[in-house]
Structure 1
Amino acid sequence: MGYRDIVVYLDAGADCAARLRTAIDVAAKHQARLIGVDISTKEAQEGESHDLALAIEDTFTSAVQAAGLDFQYHAARPEAHTAEQLFSHSADILVATQPHPDHRHLSNSSVPKEVLLTAGVPMLVLPAGWTGEDAIGEQVIVAWNFSRESTRAVHDAMPILKAARKVLLFVFASNYSDQNADVQEIKRHLEHHGVTVALAGWRDTGQTDFTSALFAVLDRESADLIVCGAYGHSPLFEDVFGGATPNLLNNISMPVLMSH
């Protein structure tokens, strides 16, 4: 099963053009319909951003028509806050950008975090300042920990994993070994789907944390996308006590495909 419907969130912020460019690239690669959802706030429709907000639909339509894609467009109400009101449920994957500190007032505050938690749909979260010029999904790292969330993420990302040149399976555990039966089992499962897999495990000795180890592997392997589960603990727990999800949602360099 591939991606047939992809939602990209649109606003009057500086990151929207690159977000749309990446969403078009992903939709074209998977021959999917691209659904643009305008999530502008009331503030975006006033002042300096007014003209940009008015042009969102025309800009989206022109770009997808030039790419030869099937498309739809929706404008969410400024007061929308649920996944349903933000047109999240009728999609195979959502595309958003982490909030930019200078532009967060221009787009609905439920995106990305609240929609990621409630939609039941995987989300590709691009870092603020993303240019849209680099390819996504050529060399992917899967952050795997045998949890429900990482299992969901692997299956949600399968169309991307199958199309990737290389997939790195990253496991962070105190007893890690390439030969562990559970590691080999998930590797074989991916290979059975036609995924080219290499192991990139890290033995947890207590000297570093999961996120630091993951980014050390990323630097070494030149991956262009992280696939991972989101919020294995409650969002409040991770926000207060720390966790991988807030760190990955706020990373400054790497697109992340997350499932909850």
Structure 2
Amino acid sequence: MEEAMAYRDIVVYLDVGEDCAARVRTAIDVAVKHHARLIGVDVSTREALEGESRDLARAIEAEFAAAVRKAGLDFQYHAARPEARTAEQLFSHCADLLVTTQPHPDHRHLSNPAIPKEILTTAGVPMLVLPTGWTGQKAIGEHVVIAWNFSRESTRAVHDSMPILKAASKVFLFVFASNYRDTNQDVQEIKAHLEHHGVEVVLAGWRNTGENDFTSALFAGLDRENADLIVCGAYGHSPLFEDMFGGATRDLLKNISMPVLMSH
């Protein structure tokens, strides 16, 4: 029987930045693992199309098509208008997962400024954000950490990432709370819910004693668990979602080594 929740259409955003090739490699890996169609959306700006990078911009479609054909995937390609800003104009609505990279400060002018933050908060689709400098050589989704705080956003992120969680070797549930205990009823309820979906859960909670903030505690746990992906909710409408845990969303998006799957 086909799974009710599965990734069937994955959008990867394409540009002339040096991180694009690795982004496509990772998107292909995810699409192959989940038997999905890969949709490349060219989000080059007018400056990229008309400036020194014009020849690179013109080659985006051919390079994407060659890489996806080599992987044996079904695919589509779309070129978004440089002035596109909405989720509809950026082909985000008809997808189960969006893949992009944290903007590189030196190449930000070459890629649509609505990605990632505006599209993540308006599309209603989870987004896999890869760190700047990501090489695409490492697999993701084997050891996953869920940053959980019982909110609507983290609930949405868990359900949106369920195909990845079910395929993972290990899933760690990270909770940061002053009264944290493994035996707390609310912790046991989310653990049981995930296990009912076939997800094997390891509790990795952290009691907040005031000595560490959420982000420091999370990253200490990531080092310990050898994680390769964070799943979390995206909070707020301020730049880079600074409202989450006092700025933890911003910190996660600025992290230079860890992919993050976010839902709003």
Tell me the TM-score range normalised by the shorter chain: over 0.9
CA distance in 2, matches of 1:47, 1:236: 28
TM-score, length basis structure 2: 0.96
User: Cα–Cα, structure 1 residues 229 and 88, in superposed 2: closer, same or farther, change >3 Å?
Assistant: same
Match of 1:248 in 2: 252
Q: Distance in 2 between matches of 1:139 and 1:221?
A: 8
1:93 is matched with which residue?
A: 97
Does residue 142 in structure 1 map to residue 146 in structure 2?
Answer: yes
- Whether 1:230 and 2:234 are equivalent positions in the alignment is yes
SS state at 1:150 partner: helix
Q: Which residue of 1 aligns with 2:34?
A: 30
- The letter for the 1-side match of 2:188 is Q
Match of 2:48 among 44, 47, 50: 44
Displacement of 1:7 in angstroms is 0.2
Aligned-partner Cα distance in 1 for 2:204–2:164: 19
Which of the residues 2, 7, 10 maps onto 1:6?
10
In the alignment, the residues of structure 2 paired with residue 212 and residue 82 of structure 1 have an alpha-carbon distance, to the nearest angstrom, of: 34
Provide closer, same or farther for how the CA distance between residues 51 and 236 of structure 1 changes in structure 2, counting only shifts above 3 A: closer
1:172 aligns with 2:172: no
Instruction: Name which of 164, 187, 190 aligns with 2:191.
Output: 187
- In structure 2, the gaps of 5 or more residues are none
* Unmatched runs of 5 consecutive residues or more in structure 1: none
How far 1:42 sits from its partner (Å)? 0.6
Residue 206 (structure 2) aligns with: 202
Q: Distance in 1 between matches of 2:240 and 2:228?
A: 29
Check 1:240–1:187 CA distance in 2 against 1; reply closer, same or farther (3 A cut).
closer
Q: Which residue of 2 aligns with 1:15?
A: 19
Q: Secondary structure at the match of 2:53?
A: helix
SS at match of 1:95: strand
Alpha-carbon shift at residue 249 of structure 1 (Å): 1.1
% same residue: 78
1: CA distance, partners of 2:164 / 2:243: 32
Q: One-letter code of the match for 2:172? A: L
> Hey, what does 2:71 align to over in structure 1?
67
Deviations 1:161-191 (A, max 9, x none): 0000000000000000000000000001000
> How far apart in 1 are the matches of 2:138 and 2:32?
15
Let me know the Cα RMSD of the aligned residues: 1.3
Q: Which residue of 1 aligns with 2:218?
A: 214
Q: Deviations over 1:112-170 (max 9, x none)?
A: 01000100000000000000000000000000000000000000000000000000000
Letter aligned with residue 16 of structure 2:
A
